[in-house]
Chains A and B, each alone.
Chain A
Amino acid sequence: MATLSSLYQDLILDHNRAPQNFRRMENANRRVEGHNPLCGDRLTVWLRMEGDIIRDAAFQGSGCAISKASASMMTSSVKGKTRAEAEALFARFHSLVTGSLEQTQADSLGKLAVFSGLAEFPIRVKCASLSWHALKAALEQPDAVVSTE
């Protein structure tokens, strides 16, 4: 149970039960749909950008606890960040969940460090990164509504 409880930490279960920013954003200027064809999970990420800054982020969709909690915490953590800062955060998050991040850097991730247990569950890394990939696609497509598919 040691590794299982490191995966399903209370913070993750809390975000799964009551995800933050779980809403359709009416005044968004970026929208991307993320889809994991292997498991059928789908989610939509909305951003409201002002220049280079993410003013607001939200998501909706269906998915497992890991993907939902990750999307919840991702949307919270990128608000107010610049595109470059958000992309750098994703890079560090990805290293964390694949187990290649140094401990000192893990500390810098704040609450996102709760996903470190994923390193023991490589098959579930896709779940945690789905919303981040959608975010990245939204940041890379300045004026378009796109899908990662």
Chain B
Amino acid sequence: MRREAGRLIGGTATAAVDRSRGKAYPLARVPASPLDIERIREDFPILRHQIRGKPLVYLDNAATSQKPQVVIDAVSRFYSAENANIHRGVHYLSERATVAYDEVREKVAQFLNARSSREIIFTRGTTEGINLVAQSYGRTNLKPGDEIVITAMEHHSNIVPWQLVCEQTGAVLKAAPINDDGELDVTAFEQLLSDRTRLVAVVHLSNALGTINPIKRLVALAHARGIPVLVDGAQAAPHLAVDVQDLDCDFFVFSGHKVLGPTGVGVLYGKEALLERMPPYQGGGDMIETVTLQRSTWAPVPSKFEAGTPMIAQVIGMGAALDYVADLGLESIAAWEHELLSYATERLRGIEGIRLIGTAREKASVLSFVLDGAHPHDIGTILDDEGVAIRVGHHCAQPVMERFGLPATARASFAFYNTFAEIDVLADGITNVKKMFA
């Protein structure tokens, strides 16, 4: 059944078949993709699995992506044949591991189009990257009355670290509002920028709404006032081609596990001049130049920010993931995901009683919705019984839920390995929910 669903894609099939009822949707709507989705799906072993006796339809990619075999193999090979600590051994394995680890830094620099791999710091993930900037840059530069500007569509991980540093320094956190479509009010954002603003932190692609923010424009507005900008790229990195030089942002953070890589690893990009001036975030091994019992001096960037033995296997796994993404090409990925989102939007809009939450003109990969008469949790449980994995709840973005007056939404989020046939399963599942709750 899974293969059947896969074969529908790439413009090669003749009819999309609803698995449960044999109903055919007009396949003329499935556009050709430069990607061979059927072949790509074979790279992801989990997509061959059945959930509750049904083929897995994985539509929770905004929470975490699935992993291609090359990533699983890279991690397994490292532990099986290459495992050693890095930056501290003269033996063969340590040297090999060090080289492999540092090579990924080069890959990440290319992935983001950074000027230099010295601008790439490995973290545990997006959350740690933001906390690093808040504590290292923020704590050093913020005084009472200074302001940090975020938006009303941020994930908790781009709110709470700033609240913490505001408590520590007496700085004030301000949030630019969003409109009913879930788009940032750029005029209001600009009006929040003042000579007291010390930092802007803004999400690139909203995890709860799918909105793509006009980052280049926001950076230009902030830079016109000399304010540095951090971009939360957790959702952008897997779905949009990111060029940090073109965006001209000062910091960009993302997580490996949302870009096909392992959990426990992420990236902080920072402009070198800024990183140079920032104090260490954590102290320990690997981040020092010299240590005496009285005082220590720091290693140059990026090591200054990588205290202790890092997540070596995860970094190597993330390197394999970025290679895989680069082979497919983010432009091709984004183009196919755009088709998926358009089709899913069309199918769900056709279901009476559905309201889409997040209808920005610029959107990617995320479709949040509510359904009259059925709570998102019930939708989630019933779809799960069909093998469909979606996220329900507040998506770690409670201020967004509050803005729309909702306790929760249901969210389908797509990746390039998803198919039109899977979206049909989702839509039919929602129709079943409606029947049950009618």
Contacts and interface: CB of A to CB of B under 8 A. Distances in A.
Interface stretch (A36-44, A47-55, A70-78, A79-87): A36-44
Given A1-B385, A124-B381, A65 B374 contact: yes
B377 A127 contact: yes
A38 B374 contact: no
Given A8-B436, A39-B408, A65 B378 contact: yes
Contact of B407 (A8, A16, A41, A121): A41
B401 to A, nearest CB: 6
A13 B408 CA distance: 20
B382 A4 contact: yes
Contacts of A66: 377-378
Contact of B393 (A1, A16, A38, A42): A38
A11 interface: no
Contact of B437 (A16, A40, A41, A121): A16
Interface string B350-379: 000000000000000000000001111110
A22 to B, nearest CB: 15
B398 A40 contact: yes
B218 to A, nearest CB: 29
Interface in B259-315: none
B401 A40 contact: yes
Nearest to A121: B381
Interface in B391-436: 392-394, 398, 401, 407-408, 436
Contact of A39 (B374, B377, B382, B437): B377
Contacts of A62: 375, 407
Name, among A7, A42, A63, A65, the residue most crowded by chain B CB atoms within 10 Å (CB to CB): A65
Nearest to A123: B381
Given A40-B393, A40-B394, A65-B374, A13 B436 contact: yes
A124 B382 contact: no
B23 to A, nearest CB: 19
A7 B374 CA distance: 15
Contacts of A121: 381
Contacts of A8: 378, 382, 436
B381 A39 contact: no
B375 A4 contact: no
Nearest to B384: A4
A40 B407 contact: yes
Given A39-B408, A40-B407, A127-B377, A65 B385 contact: no
A105 to B, nearest CB: 26
Interface string A1-43: 1011001100001001100000000000000000000111110
Given A1-B385, A4-B382, A38-B393, A64 B436 contact: no
A16 B437 CA distance: 9
Contacts of A7: 381
Contacts of B381: 4, 7, 121, 124
B47 to A, nearest CB: 23
A63 B375 contact: yes
A119 B329 CA distance: 46
B393 A65 contact: no
Contacts of B375: 62-65, 68
A63 B407 CA distance: 8
A111 B157 CA distance: 43
Nearest to A4: B385
Contacts of A39: 377, 392-394, 407-408
B436 A124 contact: no
Nearest to B408: A40
A67 to B, nearest CB: 8
A123 B382 CA distance: 13
Nearest to B385: A4
A72 to B, nearest CB: 14
B352 to A, nearest CB: 17
A16 B433 CA distance: 14
A38 B393 CA distance: 8
A63 B375 CA distance: 7
A7 B52 CA distance: 15
Nearest to A42: B407
Contacts of A4: 381-382, 385
Nearest to B374: A65
A40 B398 CA distance: 8
Interface in B306-347: none
A68 B374 CA distance: 11
A121 B376 CA distance: 16
A16 B394 CA distance: 21
A133 B375 CA distance: 21
Contacts of B382: 4, 8
Contact of A65 (B392, B401, B437): B437
Contacts of A68: 375
8 contacts: A3-B385, A8-B436, A13-B436, A17-B373, A39-B394, A41-B377, A65-B378, A66-B377
Q: Which 6 pairs, one residue from A and one from B, show the smallest C-beta to C-beta distance?
A: A64-B377, A64-B375, A4-B385, A40-B407, A40-B394, A62-B407
Given A4-B382, A39-B377, A127-B377, 11 more contacts: A1-B385, A39-B394, A40-B393, A40-B407, A40-B408, A41-B407, A41-B408, A64-B375, A64-B376, A64-B377, A65-B374
Interface of B: 373-378, 381-382, 385, 392-394, 398, 401, 407-408, 436-437
